[in-house]
């Protein structure tokens, strides 16, 4: 009798260990993004992969190279392959058909700097509204709330779209600030080259010193392209203030050197990748997650760019 009780206890403990192991080792995870050319995306995908490896997961990273429509078919493909979970870095509204396929297959989908959507378990991201407010207010202070501002935005991607919307709101509240142009660059190659070309055209159309007070960019690549255009035109001494968001290595270097690129915001890309992996693990273990999980950010200027 005693032996049977001990055996039952051992079997129960062994079953519990198996369940815990199943929760920690999800098996196959698909990560799907059209934006792997962006440094930020690369960083949090790499961080996710590192955490997944520690959890014993097999990760398949799928880059559709700027093709959002292709992301839908890839979500459908991996759903039919019965992966354990899907992580997306794309506007969920634009891939709804794929998400519906995942839902029908009972496969959980997680956003990694994607957007809020009822078809996602959660979205792990930075607070885009706060980042935009911080950089827009930095610009206003630096130009004494007066002058023409060029904005680089990307409304097709929710985390970036909300940055532009918040900056619009803040700039419009200053009566002496005028939005000279609101530019959406081609991001197929990362965004620097096309942003430079578009900024060159804006500089040509506004040749007078003081005609452009600042460039506000919703992420670093357009800010870097604008900096290249300003320097190539020999207008770096006009006091044109540039800000970005992401604090990628090139941006940090430009800020540290005290160029026109004066400020950016450091997202914790590794933190986003790790937090997304943690969210997958927690959900598969049966935990309830918030609709959005925010990872902290930090304003970067010449004072702390080398930290």
- Total domains, the chain: 2
Supply the CATH number for residue 78's domain: 3.40.50.2300
Q: What 3-state DSSP class applies to 297?
A: strand
The predicted model gives 167-181 an average pLDDT of: 98
Kindly report, residue by residue over 126-158, the tens digit of the pLDDT.
Answer: 999 999 999 999 999 999 999 999 999 999 888
For position 15, what pLDDT does the model report? 41
Q: What are phi and psi of 271, to 5 degrees?
A: -65, -40
What whole-number distance in Å separates Cα of residue 123 and Cα of residue 111?
A: 4
Q: Is residue 79 within 8 Å of 51, Cβ to Cβ?
A: no
Task: Examine residue 300 and state whether it is found in any structural domain, yes or no.
Answer: no
* Residue span of the structural domain in which 104 resides: 2-126+269-295
Task: Examine residue 301 and state whether it is found in any structural domain, yes or no.
Answer: no
Q: Among residues 168, 255, 177, which one has the least CA distance to residue 220?
A: 255
- Single pTM value for the model: 0.75
Q: Is residue 88 within 8 Å of 44, Cβ to Cβ?
A: no
b/e map 26-50, b = 16+ CB within 10 Å: beebbbbbbbbbbbbbbbbbebbbe
For position 8, what pLDDT does the model report? 44
Q: Among residues 166, 171, 90, 103, which one has the least CA distance to residue 132?
A: 166
Task: Examine residue 43 and state whether it is found in any structural domain, yes or no.
Answer: yes
Same-domain status, 160 and 176 = yes
CA dist list (Å): 205 to 124, 185, 202, 209, 284: 41, 18, 5, 12, 55
38 pLDDT tier (thresholds 50, 70, 90): confident
Residue 243's DSSP bridge partners are 216, 263
What whole-number distance in Å separates Cα of residue 205 and Cα of residue 201?
A: 6
Task: Examine residue 306 and state whether it is found in any structural domain, yes or no.
Answer: no
Task: Examine residue 277 and state whether it is found in any structural domain, yes or no.
Answer: yes
Q: Is residue 115 within 8 Å of 91, Cβ to Cβ?
A: yes
The predicted model gives 192-207 an average pLDDT of: 98
Same-domain status, 250 and 288 = no
Predicted confidence (pLDDT) at residue 84 exceeds the cutoff of 90: yes
For position 245, what pLDDT does the model report? 96
Please give the residue that has the higher pLDDT: either 157 or 98: 98
Same-domain status, 163 and 241 = yes
Same-domain status, 83 and 184 = no
Kindly report, residue by residue over 224-270, the tens digit of the pLDDT.
Answer: 999 999 999 999 999 999 999 999 999 999 999 999 999 999 989 89
Same-domain status, 121 and 136 = no
Same-domain status, 156 and 216 = yes
Q: What are phi and psi of 286, to 5 degrees?
A: 95, 10
Same-domain status, 251 and 136 = yes
Same-domain status, 259 and 143 = yes
Task: Examine residue 307 and state whether it is found in any structural domain, yes or no.
Answer: no
| String of DSSP letters for 34-57 | S-TTSHHHHHHHHHHHHHHHHTT-
What's the mean pLDDT when you consider all of the chain? 92
For position 26, what pLDDT does the model report? 61
Same-domain status, 260 and 283 = no
Predicted confidence (pLDDT) at residue 10 exceeds the cutoff of 50: no
């Amino acid at each position: 009798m005693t032996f049977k009780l001990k055996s039952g206890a051992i079997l129960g403990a062994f079953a519990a260990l198996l369940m815990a192991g199943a929760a920690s080792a999800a098996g196959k995870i698909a990560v799907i993004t059209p934006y792997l050319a962006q440094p930020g995306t690369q960083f949090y995908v790499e961080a996710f992969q590192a955490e997944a490896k520690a959890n014993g997961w097999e990760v398949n990273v799928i880059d559709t190279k700027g093709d959002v429509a292709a992301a839908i078919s890839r979500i459908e493909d991996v759903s039919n392959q019965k992966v354990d979970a899907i992580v997306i870095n794309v506007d969920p509204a634009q891939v709804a058909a794929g998400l519906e396929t995942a839902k029908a297959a009972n496969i959980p989908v997680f956003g990694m700097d994607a957007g809020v959507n009822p078809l996602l378990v959660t979205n792990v991201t930075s607070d885009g509204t706060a980042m935009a407010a911080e950089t827009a207010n930095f610009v206003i202070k630096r130009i004494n709330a007066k002058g023409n501002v060029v904005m680089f935005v990307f409304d097709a991607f929710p985390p970036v779209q909300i940055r532009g919307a918040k900056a619009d709101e803040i700039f419009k509240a200053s009566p002496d600030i005028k939005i000279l142009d609101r530019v959406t660059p081609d991001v197929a190659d990362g965004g620097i080259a096309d942003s430079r070309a578009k900024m060159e055209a804006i500089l040509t159309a506004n040749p007078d010193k003081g005609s452009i007070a600042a460039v506000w960019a919703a992420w670093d690549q357009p800010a870097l392209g604008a900096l290249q255009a300003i320097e190539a035109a020999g207008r770096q001494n006009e006091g044109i203030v540039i800000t970005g968001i992401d604090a990628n290595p090139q941006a940090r270097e430009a800020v540290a050197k005290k160029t026109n690129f004066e400020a950016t915001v450091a997202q914790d890309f590794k933190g986003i990748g790790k937090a997304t992996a943690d969210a997958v693990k927690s959900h598969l273990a049966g935990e309830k997650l918030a609709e959005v999980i925010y990872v902290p950010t930090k304003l970067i200027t010449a004072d702390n760019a080398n930290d």
